[in-house]
């Protein structure tokens, strides 16, 4: 499966990755609608930090209606027609990388599509192939 990787050493926190993501899925460049977030860290290092779904799948059994599943390529996806918008997965996510936005019934999460990678002017993002985790 493909997962998003981040090189903090070249990131300028320009927001182009977030704009590309939000634009693709919401036709809106609002940062709050992006499935990934890039901010400056709140610790003393004050360096860029990216937060995006790592496709761990720990959220899958949490969904009370079975709307979360692992696709054949390993990516964790949401069945939008089944999702009831309870946001249990957002509250549960051990990495805090599933997001809620009022314009969407279902949660917002990265599916490693690569739109952000193409938009990054500093080449701070890339998609890497990783082993699909064994089913839990």
- CA 35/CA 110 separation, integer angstroms: 5
Please check whether residue 133 lies inside any domain of the structure.
no
Confidence (pLDDT) at 5? 95
Burial 4-32 (b: 16+ CB within 10 A, else e): bebeeeebebebbbbbbbbbebbeeeeee
Judged against a pLDDT cut of 90, whether residue 43 lies above it is answered with no
| CATH code for the domain of 15 | 3.30.70.20
Task: Note whether residue 130 is domain-resident.
Answer: no
Domain that holds residue 13: 2-125
Instruction: Tell me the pLDDT tens digit for each residue of 78-106.
Output: 999 999 999 999 999 999 999 999 999 99
Q: What is the mean pLDDT of the chain?
A: 93
Unique residue bearing structure tokens 């990787």: 5
Could you read off the pLDDT of 10-37 as tens digits, one per residue? Answer: 999 999 999 999 999 999 999 999 999 9
Alpha-carbon distance of 26 to 20, in angstroms, equals 10
pLDDT band at 41; cut points 50, 70, 90 = confident
Number of domains making up the chain: 1
pLDDT interval class at 136 (50, 70, 90): very low
CB 53 within 8 A of CB 109: yes
């Amino acid at each position: 499966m493909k997962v998003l990787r981040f090189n903090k050493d070249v990131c300028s926190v320009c927001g182009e990755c977030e704009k590309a993501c939000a634009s693709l899925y919401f036709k809106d460049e609002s940062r709050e609608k992006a499935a990934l977030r890039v901010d400056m860290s709140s610790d003393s290092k004050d360096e860029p930090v990216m937060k995006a779904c790592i496709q761990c799948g720990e959220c899958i059994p949490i969904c009370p209606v079975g709307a979360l599943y692992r696709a054949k390529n390993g990516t964790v996806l949401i069945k939008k027609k089944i999702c009831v918008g309870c946001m249990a997965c957002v509250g549960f996510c051990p990495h805090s990388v599933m997001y809620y936005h009022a314009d969407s019934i279902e949660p917002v999460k990265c599916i490693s599509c690569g739109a952000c990678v193409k938009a990054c002017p500093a080449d701070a993002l890339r998609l890497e192939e990783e082993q699909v985790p064994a089913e839990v």
